[in-house]
């Protein structure tokens, strides 16, 4: 499987991910995977499965629109827009967050390292009742 094919398969899988298919993570991630995002650092596929199962437990909907893709050798990058609906965030209305994933594939084609970059404030902190108002006010002052 080429780097481009691995990346496309990963994107297709990630868009199907929900609380009913977290066990399929083992097909796409190595046992010793390292997953990093602005809020978490998770080591190992079992810990990653628990994380995704917990994450998707209360999610009403989550899908990704994948944009630019680049793959070369064992490395791949993909930009995306996540559309998330969670009853406790943003009054249960859809949230859109832009981000990028950096992937390192192992020799067997599974992901050995997955690092996500996104604005954690746009996803979470700005959506919380008290803290969100403070963060939005600070951003307005900075933007000027």
More confident residue, 12 or 16: 12
Range name among 13-27, 73-87, 121-135 with the lowest pLDDT average? 121-135
What pLDDT shows up at residue 98? Answer: 92
Per-residue pLDDT for 138 more than 90? no
Instruction: List the one residue out of 117, 116, 135 whose CA is nearest residue 125.
Output: 135
Contacts of 94 by beta carbon, 8 Å cutoff, 6+ apart:
61, 83, 84, 85
Query: What CATH code is assigned to 3-118?
Result: 3.10.450.50
Find the DSSP H helices in 17-118. 25-28, 45-57
Phi then psi dihedrals of residue 87, to 5 deg: -60, -25
What pLDDT shows up at residue 131? Answer: 58
Per-residue pLDDT for 130 more than 70? no
Per-residue pLDDT for 45 more than 80? yes
How does pLDDT run across 62-76, given as a tens digit for each residue? Answer: 899 999 999 999 999
- Domain ranges, ordered by start, for the chain: 3-118
How does pLDDT run across 74-117, given as a tens digit for each residue? Answer: 999 999 999 988 887 777 888 899 999 999 999 999 999 999 99
What pLDDT shows up at residue 136? Answer: 60
What pLDDT shows up at residue 143? Answer: 73
Mean pLDDT, rounded, of the chain: 85
Quick count: other Cβ atoms within 10 Å of Cβ 89? 20
What pLDDT shows up at residue 70? Answer: 95
Residue written as token pair 């827009």: 81
What pLDDT shows up at residue 88? Answer: 77
Torsion angle of alpha carbons 99, 47, 24, 120, nearest 10°?
-20
Residue written as token pair 């951003």: 139
């Amino acid at each position: 499987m080429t780097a481009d094919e691995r990346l496309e398969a990963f994107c297709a899988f990630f868009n199907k991910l929900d609380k009913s298919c977290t066990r399929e993570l083992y097909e796409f991630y190595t046992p010793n995977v390292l997953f990093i995002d602005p809020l978490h650092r998770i080591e190992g596929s079992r810990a990653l499965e628990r994380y995704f199962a917990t994450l998707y437990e209360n999610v009403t909907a989550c899908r990704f629109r994948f944009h630019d893709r680049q793959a070369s050798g064992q490395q791949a990058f993909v930009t995306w827009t996540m559309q998330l609906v969670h009853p406790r965030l943003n009054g249960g209305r859809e949230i859109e967050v832009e981000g990028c994933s950096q992937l390192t594939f192992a020799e067997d084609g599974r992901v050995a390292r997955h690092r996500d970059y996104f604005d954690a404030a746009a996803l979470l902190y700005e959506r919380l009742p008290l803290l969100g108002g403070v963060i939005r006010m600070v951003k307005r002052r900075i933007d000027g």
